[in-house]
C-alpha cells in the first residue's frame, strides 16, 4: 500500500511523474485511459483560465477580494477525480479545481467572489459544502458528515481540504483525533503551498513534515508531490477506497506551491524571494501534464492554445452574466445564513426593513 511505503515516518514523498512529464515510477500509474487523464488536464486548464480571469477582474475593481489557485491545480483536480459520485467534498477557500471537477459551475464560484449570497447555494445533487473562510472549522463539519454516513450505513466518503497554515489551528487536531477515534470515512488533504499568508511553513511548526501529524491521531498518512496529478489521484483513490471499506480516515499532505498571492489583498514580494518562485515555476503541474500528454500523442500545442482561448472567453462571458445580476441585496445577507433566522438577526432585519420604509 502507498500509505505504508510513503507513510509519515518514512521520509519519502510519492511521485509518479517528474517536473518534465516523465514517468519515474510507471508501475504506480493508476489504471486509467488516456482520455480520462486528458479530461482531468482540461479541468486543470479551465481552472487556470478561470483563475487568471478572476485576478484580472478583481484588479479592475469588478470583483471582491479573491484567493488565487495557480500552481495548485493538480492537488485539487487529482484528488477530486478520485472521488465517487456520492462522495462529499468539504473545501476551505482555495479549491477551484476541485469545485469544477465535482460539478460546481463557474458562475456559482464567480457569484461568491462577487459578494452574492447565492454563490454559496449549490444544486441539491452536488455534494459540495460552501466555501469556508474561517480557518479549520470546515474539518469538523467534514468529520460530522463522514460519521453520519457511517451511522446511516452508507458508503459515501468525505474529502476535506485545509491549507498548511490551518494545521496550526486547534480544529485541525480535534478533527483528526475525532475521526480516528470513531473511524470516520474521511480523507483530509493538506494543500501545503508553503505559506500561510506571509508566514512560511517552517515558522508554522517544528515538525519536519505536516503529514507526520497523522501519527498522534493514530491514522495513516502519506506525503505526495502535490504538483503530480497522477500521484495525487493514486494516493487519494487508495485512501478513499480504504475509508469506504471501513478502514477509517487518512491524512494526505500535498506538497505544492502557491505561485501567486495569498489573496488579492496580499503582496507576496514582501516575504518571499523571486528566485524561490522561479524555482517552483519549473515544477508547474500543468506544464508537466501537458508534456506527458503530448508525448503520448493525445494532445498538441495547438490543441492547448485553442482550448485556453476558449476557456478564457467562456470565463469572461460567465462573469459578464454575474455582473449583470447587479449588486448584492443587503437583505440576502440576513436571509440565507440560517434556515430559520435567529432572534438577534430578526431584530436587526426588522430594523433594516423599517429604515427602508422610512426613507421611501
The answer to whether residues 166 and 134 touch, using CB atoms and an 8 Å cutoff, is no
Question: In whole angstroms, what separates CA 92 from the centre of its chain?
Answer: 7
Residues 6+ apart with CB under 8 A from 229: 17, 37, 40, 41, 44, 74, 77, 78, 285, 289
Task: Write down the residue that cell numbers 449583470 correspond to.
Answer: 324
Which ranges constitute the DSSP H helices of the chain? 2-5, 34-59, 73-81, 96-101, 106-114, 137-151, 170-182, 213-217, 229-244, 274-281, 285-296, 301-324, 330-335, 343-359
Cα distances (Å, whole numbers) of residue 157 to 1, 82, 251, 320 = 19, 11, 14, 36
Cα distances (Å, whole numbers) of residue 338 to 247, 333, 343 = 34, 10, 11
Spatial distance between the Cα atoms of 89 and 83, rounded to a whole number of angstroms? 9
Just list the catalytic residues.
258, 262, 271
Residues 6+ apart with CB under 8 A from 267: 261
Amino acid at each position: 500500500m502507498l500509505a505504508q511505503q510513503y507513510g509519515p515516518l518514512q521520509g519519502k514523498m510519492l511521485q509518479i511523474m517528474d517536473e518534465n512529464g516523465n514517468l519515474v515510477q510507471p508501475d504506480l500509474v493508476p489504471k486509467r485511459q488516456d482520455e480520462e487523464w486528458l479530461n482531468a488536464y482540461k479541468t486543470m486548464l479551465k481552472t487556470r483560465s478561470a483563475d487568471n480571469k478572476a485576478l484580472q477582474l478583481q484588479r479592475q475593481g469588478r470583483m471582491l477580494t479573491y484567493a488565487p489557485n495557480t500552481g495548485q491545480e493538480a492537488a485539487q483536480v487529482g484528488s477530486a477525480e478520485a472521488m465517487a459520485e456520492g462522495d462529499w467534498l468539504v473545501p476551505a477557500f482555495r479549491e477551484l479545481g476541485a469545485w469544477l471537477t465535482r460539478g460546481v459551475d463557474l458562475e456559482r464560484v464567480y457569484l461568491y467572489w462577487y459578494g452574492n449570497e447565492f454563490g454559496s447555494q449549490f444544486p441539491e445533487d452536488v455534494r459540495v459544502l460552501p466555501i469556508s473562510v474561517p480557518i479549520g472549522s470546515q474539518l469538523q463539519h467534514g468529520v460530522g458528515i463522514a460519521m453520519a454516513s457511517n451511522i446511516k450505513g452508507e458508503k459515501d466518503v468525505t474529502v476535506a481540504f485545509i491549507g498548511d497554515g490551518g494545521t496550526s489551528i486547534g480544529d485541525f487536531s480535534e478533527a483528526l483525533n475525532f475521526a480516528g477515534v470513531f473511524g470516520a470515512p474521511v480523507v483530509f488533504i493538506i494543500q501545503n503551498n508553503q505559506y500561510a499568508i506571509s508566514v512560511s511553513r517552517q515558522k508554522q511548526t517544528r515538525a519536519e513534515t505536516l503529514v507526520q501529524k497523522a501519527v498522534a491521531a493514530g491514522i495513516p498518512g502519506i506525503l505526495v508531490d502535490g504538483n503530480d496529478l497522477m500521484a495525487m489521484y493514486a494516493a487519494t483513490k487508495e485512501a478513499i477506497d480504504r475509508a469506504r471499506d471501513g478502514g477509517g480516515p487518512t491524512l494526505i499532505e500535498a506538497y505544492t506551491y502557491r505561485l501567486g498571492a495569498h489573496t488579492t489583498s496580499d503582496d507576496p514580494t514582501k516575504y518571499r524571494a523571486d528566485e524561490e518562485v522561479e524555482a517552483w515555476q519549473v515544477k508547474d503541474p500543468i506544464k508537466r501534464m501537458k508534456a506527458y500528454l503530448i508525448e503520448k500523442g493525445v494532445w498538441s500545442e495547438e490543441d492547448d492554445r485553442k482550448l485556453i482561448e476558449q476557456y478564457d472567453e467562456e470565463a469572461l462571458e460567465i462573469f459578464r452574466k454575474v455582473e449583470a445580476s447587479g449588486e448584492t441585496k443587503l437583505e440576502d445577507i440576513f436571509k440565507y445564513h440560517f434556515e430559520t433566522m435567529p432572534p438577534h438577526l430578526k431584530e436587526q432585519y426588522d430594523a433594516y426593513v423599517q429604515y427602508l420604509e422610512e426613507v421611501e
